[in-house]
Amino acid sequence: MLGAPGSGKGTQAELLAERLGIPAISTGEMLRAAVAAGSELGRRVEGVMASGDLVSDELIAEVVDARLAVPDAQGGFLLDGYPRTSPQADALDRILAKRETQLDHVIHLEVPQEELIGRALARQRADDEEDVVRERLRVYHEKTAPLIDRYADAGLLRRVDGHRSIDAIMKDLARLFGAA
């Protein structure tokens, strides 16, 4: 699932994964939990996350590869916010090839930028200062937006209007996956 920070990826991923009976795998949630727990991974990524930049592709690939090895992901999974860069997409291709699986769909939640900023500021998380939010959006447009064309060219991209109610978006996603 692709979408800018604040687009609703996490909310929709959780709802859709529950409906499909598969895990929603959020690298952002895994990294935030590691920071909160004070783990070695958390210490490695805390400063990078606080600045609004992206964690290294190699580190994220390790996290994703390990998570996809967990038995609950063997019958399918939903990736929330990964990949975020072309090198991450290449790493995901290698991870999936090794597991002899492939992506079925790539969902892009589309939301106007000013709405994204408003949503992020309304969350009131400690790392949601406006300058950090704007930096995350700049990084998203620079590094993640090119994946939209990559997956559209591969015939995998499904564009979804994310500037609607949670229920309206979920109905579209459920229809897309035959789980309406």
State pLDDT tens for residues 111-145. Answer: 999 999 999 888 877 767 889 899 989 999 999 99
42-55 pLDDT tens trace: 888 888 888 877 78
More confident residue, 39 or 78: 78
> Residue 89 CB: number of other CB atoms within 10 A?
19
- Band (107; pLDDT cuts 50, 70, 90): very high
Query: Is residue 1, in this structure, part of any structural domain at all?
Result: no
CA-CA distance, 117 to 112, in Å (whole number)? 9
- Band (110; pLDDT cuts 50, 70, 90): very high
What is the total count of domains within the chain?
1
Query: Is residue 4, in this structure, part of any structural domain at all?
Result: no
Query: Is residue 33, in this structure, part of any structural domain at all?
Result: yes
Query: Is residue 24, in this structure, part of any structural domain at all?
Result: yes
Query: Is residue 109, in this structure, part of any structural domain at all?
Result: yes
Query: Is residue 88, in this structure, part of any structural domain at all?
Result: yes
CATH number at residue 102: 3.40.50.300
- The residue behind tokens 């229809």 is 175
Query: Is residue 3, in this structure, part of any structural domain at all?
Result: no
Q: Which domain holds residue 111?
A: 9-176
In Å, how far are 41, 59, 76, 127 from 50, measured between CA atoms?
A: 14, 17, 32, 6
